[in-house]
């Protein structure tokens, strides 16, 4: 590999679902801070080592707010990328995040566990009634996170059909028309304006009502921020959680001896979910959202000048042999596991504790109630939505006996 020519980005798709592109591992070893070129010619630095990726995510010399500028390469998230928590730097970010943080702490999430276990059982009961092969995405992986976040926010689950198409479109993808994404975002905004008015009239014990009170009683966020926060919370965790459920199942089926171990050791589900979080490649390009340097920063001996785009490759960092023993091996009982599958720093996933609990309950339900669940088609027949950030399978046909 030559040291100076930029590499085309996105990288070619990896040959398997279960590992990062071989080029990423090569880069991590030989060129951990590499310049890449987007199709439109914009340049960015791709960072692949665990320590460097953590620095990019945590160190305040890397800004998310600057990354939303017109001249920066844009990917994924569509309009959400410009308006929500993920688009702000401290202190603005801090002010907004603290308004929602309490609803997502480990302690609060534990209180929701029995309710989530019930949702899991109900969905599995519904799945069983389907003719086989049944689509796991439609009957389980997607409705679970949607139902859970709707409960938490106080969004009527019956409205799901209204917002699902918009949320799909608002997340956007590399090729998608900017107008389509913007239109979907506007529709979601209209939906939330209605919902907020309804809740103003009749507040309930839910997160949207609490946010409305923070707006109306204490003026701690603007009306626009209130709407954007609602949209972000509603759609932010769907695809990610659904994708992880699908990928966790595929990964376990690909590692039958590990799957047997987990069935025999249900008490280790929490550790197993951490290992699956580390192992699973969230998107095919495995890069997280771009940051921009506010001053020159040195990473692994390379000085990145101020004002440049930097992409932290979380998927590659989670396979760094300097941090994880035998990193490309799935080891569900792995003891030391400082993976960064939920990011790090001020943007560390707001829903991390919630997602962990949902994933634990989802696996517990599937493994105990449908112990011989199998995917009915080979991996080569799975089709994925072309998003940059999250790789989501359109349909996952499953069978059981």
Of the candidate spans 116-124, 166-174, 338-346, 392-400, the one that interacts with ligand HEM by CB under 6 A turns out to be 338-346
- Is 350 a binder of ligand HEM (CB under 6 A)? yes
- Is 315 a binder of ligand HEM (CB under 6 A)? no
Look at residues 243, 78, 242, 82 and name the one whose alpha carbon lies nearest to residue 174.
78
Quote the CA–CA distance of 377 and 382 in Å, as a whole number: 7
- Which helix (H) or strand (E) covers residue 33, if one does? strand 33-37
Quote the CA–CA distance of 371 and 400 in Å, as a whole number: 8
Quote the CA–CA distance of 82 and 66 in Å, as a whole number: 10
Q: State in angstroms the smallest separation of the CB of 342 from other proteins.
A: 8
Q: State in angstroms the smallest separation of the CB of 102 from other proteins.
A: 7
Q: Which does 246 bind (CB under 5 to 8 A by kind): ligand HEM, other proteins, none?
A: none
Distance between first and last Cα of the chain: 51
Residue number with CB closer to other proteins (5 or 105): 105
Report the site for ligand HEM in 75-104 (rule: CB under 6 A): 85-86, 97
- Is 97 a binder of other proteins (CB under 8 A)? yes
Q: Are 214 and 199 in contact (CB under 8 A)?
A: no
Q: State in angstroms the smallest separation of the CB of 276 from other proteins.
A: 17
Of the candidate spans 19-27, 93-101, 227-235, 299-307, the one that interacts with other proteins by CB under 8 A turns out to be 93-101
Binding mask 55-74 for other proteins (x = CB under 8 A): --xxxx--------------
By three-state DSSP, how is residue 377 classified?
coil
Residue number with CB closer to other proteins (214 or 304): 214
- Is 322 a binder of other proteins (CB under 8 A)? no
DSSP state of 323: T
Write out the two tokens for 187.
Answer: 């529709």
Strand 7-8, strand 33-37: pairing: parallel
Q: Are 53 and 313 in contact (CB under 8 A)?
A: yes
Residue number with CB closer to ligand HEM (147 or 258): 147
CA distances from 252 to 118, 180, 260, 375 (A): 23, 36, 9, 11
88 Cβ contact list (under 8 Å, min separation 6)? 64, 65, 96
Residue number with CB closer to ligand HEM (79 or 241): 241
Edge to edge, what strands does the sheet with 397-399 contain?
A: 134-135, 397-399, 374-375
Alpha helices in 129-177 (DSSP H): 136, 143-153, 160-171
Q: State in angstroms the smallest separation of the CB of 105 from other proteins.
A: 6
Look at residues 199, 145, 187 and name the one whose alpha carbon lies nearest to residue 163.
187
By three-state DSSP, how is residue 296 classified?
coil
- Is 171 a binder of ligand HEM (CB under 6 A)? no
Cα 298 to chain centroid, rounded: 28
Of the candidate spans 3-11, 110-118, 300-308, 342-350, the one that interacts with ligand HEM by CB under 6 A turns out to be 342-350
Q: Which does 330 bind (CB under 5 to 8 A by kind): other proteins, ligand HEM, none?
A: none
Binding mask 325-364 for other proteins (x = CB under 8 A): -------------x---x-xxxxx---xx-----------
Q: State in angstroms the smallest separation of the CB of 290 from ligand HEM.
A: 8
Which residue from 14, 20, 145, 327 is in contact with ligand HEM, where contact means CB under 6 A?
145
Work out whether the CA dihedral 298, 301, 305, 307 comes out positive or negative. Answer: negative
Number of residues forming the site for other proteins (CB under 8 A): 27
Of the candidate spans 94-102, 179-187, 231-239, 326-334, the one that interacts with other proteins by CB under 8 A turns out to be 94-102
Which residue from 28, 139, 255, 347 is in contact with ligand HEM, where contact means CB under 6 A?
347
Write out the two tokens for 334.
Answer: 């792995």
Q: State in angstroms the smallest separation of the CB of 347 from ligand HEM.
A: 4
Radius of gyration (C-alpha) of the chain in whole angstroms:
21
Which residue from 73, 154, 343, 365 is in contact with ligand HEM, where contact means CB under 6 A?
343
Which residues of the shown chain bind ligand HEM in the complex (CB under 6 A)? 57, 85-86, 97, 145, 149, 232-233, 236-237, 240-241, 244, 282, 288-289, 341-343, 347, 349-351, 354-355
Which residues of the shown chain bind other proteins in the complex (CB under 8 A)? 54, 57-60, 90-91, 93-95, 97-98, 101-102, 104-107, 338, 342, 344-348, 352-353
């Amino acid at each position: 590999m030559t040291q100076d020519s930029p590499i085309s980005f996105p990288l070619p798709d990896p040959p398997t679902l279960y590992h990062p592109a071989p080029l990423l591992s090569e880069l991590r070893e030989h060129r951990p801070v590499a310049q890449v070129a987007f199709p439109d010619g914009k340049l960015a630095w791709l960072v692949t080592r665990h320590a460097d990726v953590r620095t990019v995510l945590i160190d305040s010399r890397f800004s998310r707010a600057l990354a939303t500028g017109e001249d920066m390469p844009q990917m994924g998230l569509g309009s959400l990328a410009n308006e929500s928590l993920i688009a702000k730097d401290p202190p603005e970010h801090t002010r907004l995040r603290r308004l929602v943080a309490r609803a997502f702490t480990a302690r609060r999430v534990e209180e929701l566990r029995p309710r989530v276990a019930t949702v899991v059982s109900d969905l599995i009961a519904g799945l069983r009634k389907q003719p086989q092969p049944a689509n796991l995405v439609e009957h389980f992986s997607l409705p679970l996170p949607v139902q859970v976040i709707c409960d938490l926010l106080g969004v009527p689950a019956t409205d799901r059909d209204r917002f699902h198409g918009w949320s799909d479109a608002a997340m956007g993808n590399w090729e998608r028309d900017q107008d389509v994404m913007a239109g979907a975002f506007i529709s979601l905004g209209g939906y939330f304006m209605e919902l907020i008015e309804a809740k103003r009239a009749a507040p309930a014990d839910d997160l949207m009502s609490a946010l409305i009170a923070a707006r109306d009683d204490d003026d701690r966020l603007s009306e626009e921020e209130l709407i954007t926060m609602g949209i972000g919370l509603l759609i932010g965790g769907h695809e990610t959680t659904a994708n992880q459920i699908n990928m966790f199942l595929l990964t376990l089926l690909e590692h039958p001896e590990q799957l047997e171990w987990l069935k025999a050791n249900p008490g280790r589900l929490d550790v197993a979910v951490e290992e699956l979080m580390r192992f699973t490649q969230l998107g095919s390009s495995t890069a997280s959202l771009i940051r921009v340097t506010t001053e020159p920063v040195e990473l692994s001996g390379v000085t990145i000048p101020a004002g440049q785009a930097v992409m932290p490759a979380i998927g590659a960092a989670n396979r760094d042999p300097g941090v994880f023993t035998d990193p490309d091996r799935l080891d569900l009982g792995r003891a030391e596991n400082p993976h960064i599958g939920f990011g790090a720093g001020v943007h560390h996933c707001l829903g991390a504790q919630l997602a962990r609990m949902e994933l634990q309950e989802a696996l517990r339900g599937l493994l105990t109630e449908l112990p011989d669940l199998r995917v009915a088609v080979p991996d080569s027949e799975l089709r994925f939505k072309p998003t940059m950030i999250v790789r989501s399978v359109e349909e996952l046909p499953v069978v059981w006996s």
